[in-house]
């Protein structure tokens, strides 16, 4: 009797599993890829949430820009709460630059806005440019790297 019950449960589980596969067979390849992409995005958001970040990888409660953008930064170097991407040292003071150039919605800033917590909830995209080829567009201003932020439009 126990054996018959075990076999019956096994077949029921196989039927349930097969039903799931049949429902996927009715979808096109494009729809299946969209479902896979959606599942991957949900996993990424869950990973970010477990680290205390919003779904764009920004720490909205951070006190400094370094802590707010830590997930996106390639190095752990910082000074005065600002990230150091690439330290470019020369003999003259004017061309020696430590902190990166900040581009927020297409506008250039030599330093980030002071109020981290006011802007960080509105950031939707972060792009960090470090190499000379990437920062060549901004010339001497981008020697120490470029941090590009895109925010939600108000």
Sequence spans of domains, the chain = 2-50, 65-151
Which pLDDT band holds residue 39 (cuts at 50, 70, 90)?
Answer: very high
What pLDDT shows up at residue 38? 93
pTM value surpassing 0.95: no
Distance of CA 97 to CAs 24, 92, 93, 130, 146, Å? 55, 10, 8, 13, 12
pLDDT tens figures, 71-130: 888 776 777 767 777 666 555 555 556 778 888 888 888 778 777 778 878 888 888 888
**Mean pLDDT for the chain overall:** 78
| Residue 35, C-beta contacts closer than 8 angstroms, at least 6 positions apart | 27
Q: Do the strands 123-129 and 107-109 form a parallel or antiparallel pair, or are they unpaired?
A: unpaired
Which pLDDT band holds residue 133 (cuts at 50, 70, 90)?
Answer: confident
The share of the chain scoring above pLDDT 70, in percent, equals: 82
The rounded distance, in Å, linking the Cα atoms of 86 and 135 is 11
Higher pLDDT, 58 or 18: 58
Q: Do the strands 78-79 and 82-83 form a parallel or antiparallel pair, or are they unpaired?
A: antiparallel
The residue-averaged pLDDT of 54-68 equals 83
Which pLDDT band holds residue 24 (cuts at 50, 70, 90)?
Answer: low
What pLDDT shows up at residue 59? 85
Both tokens assigned to 83: 């990230």
Other beta carbons within 10 Å of 81:
14
The share of the chain scoring above pLDDT 90, in percent, equals: 7
């Amino acid at each position: 009797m126990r054996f018959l019950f075990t076999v019956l449960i096994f077949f029921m589980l196989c039927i349930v599993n097969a039903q799931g596969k049949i429902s996927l067979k009715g979808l096109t390849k494009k729809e299946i890829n969209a479902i896979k992409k959606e599942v991957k995005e949900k996993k990424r958001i869950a990973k970010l949430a477990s680290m205390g970040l919003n779904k764009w990888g920004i720490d909205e409660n951070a006190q400094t820009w370094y802590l707010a953008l830590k997930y996106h930064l390639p190095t752990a170097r910082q000074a005065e709460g600002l990230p150091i991407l690439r330290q470019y040292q020369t003999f003259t003071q004017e061309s020696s630059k430590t902190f990166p150039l900040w581009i927020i919605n297409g506008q250039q800033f030599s330093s980030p806005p002071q109020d981290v917590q006011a802007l960080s909830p509105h950031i939707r995209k972060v792009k960090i440019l470090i190499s000379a080829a990437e920062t060549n567009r901004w010339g001497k201003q981008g020697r120490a790297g470029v941090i590009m932020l895109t925010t939600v439009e108000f």
